Amino acid sequence: MQRPVLAANWKMNSGPTAAKRFMDSFLPAYGTHNDRTVIIFAPSVSLTTVAQATSGRKDVIAGIQNIYWAEKGAFTGEISAPMARDAGAQVALVGHSERRHIFGETDAQCAKKCAAAARFGLTFMLCVGETIEQREAGETERLVKRQLREGLSQIDNLLSVDFAIAYEPVWAIGTGLTASAADASAIHTMIRSELRDMIGTRGDEIPILYGGSVNPANAAALLRAPEIDGLLVGGASVEANSWVSIAQT
């Protein structure tokens, strides 16, 4: 992944028809930018639409919002890493705060998902971040370190695996509240030092994205801050014009 990484998380928005309409207006307006990577985390049913629209491109790629860790079998409603790859996903989001807080996903489950992505050749983006209660209780650092270390704990060859981290404070997601560039940067610096501790200088190459109420007006300042290598964007990524402006930041 070429940094900066600009990632759109459509969440439960845009079926294939809306996805096609989005790609038809986003791609020509965006053009080609080989100095960055754009990822579209589409709902599973829209994955092939996004993958086909970006086929052959390295600068805009498709991602899946969640995977299950088994390769195949009796897991109704779930999608495996090989299936996601077959549908055109190159990246899997793991442990988004909505998965953790609405669907009860644990660090142990996130670890299995990261390991499955790595085993089946899918890059993964592990999301970490604290709630407002945890922040106010001064637990942010300890929690983020735990989510990071546990999420990566089931991968044996971490040094040779492609992955990214997204720091998304839960209180900033979809609320209009954004962490200041300085606050976000401080957490990113802590994540970077954990990564260095785990995998040495390879830790410097892992993109660390910020997410939480990013919009066209605040994207540039966040991206300029030290150790912020990209943005993970929900609400402001669903509409093509707004996403063109953020992706071109």
Helices 140-151 and 107-119, axial angle in degrees (round to 10): 40
63: helix, coil or strand? strand
Place of tokens 């989005």: 22
CB of 206 or CB of 236, closer to ligand PGA: 236
E strands in the chain: 5-9, 37-42, 60-64, 91-94, 123-128, 163-167, 208-211, 230-233
The terminus-to-terminus CA distance of the chain in angstroms comes to 17
Cβ of residue 40: shortest distance to ligand PGA, in angstroms?
13
Q: Which stretch binds ligand PGA (CB under 6 A): 15-23, 24-32, 143-151, 167-175?
A: 167-175
Cβ of residue 168: shortest distance to ligand PGA, in angstroms?
6
Q: Does 121 bind ligand PGA (CB under 6 A)?
A: no
> Is 168 one of the catalytic residues?
yes
Within positions 98 to 117, which residues make up the interface with ligand PGA, using CB under 6 A? none
Which of residues 1, 9, 49, 225 is near ligand PGA by CB under 6 A? Answer: 9
Q: Does 235 bind ligand PGA (CB under 6 A)?
A: yes
What are the distances in angstroms from CA 158 to CA 44, 50, 71, 119, 198? 27, 29, 20, 11, 9
Q: Which stretch binds ligand PGA (CB under 6 A): 54-62, 63-71, 129-137, 211-219?
A: 211-219
Q: Is the distance from CB of 219 to CB of 228 less than 8 angstroms? A: no
Which of residues 87, 213, 225, 228 is near ligand PGA by CB under 6 A? Answer: 213
Q: Does 230 bind ligand PGA (CB under 6 A)?
A: no
In the complex, the residues that contact ligand PGA under the rule CB under 6 A are 9, 168, 173-174, 211-214, 232-236
Indicate which residues carry an active-site annotation. 96, 168
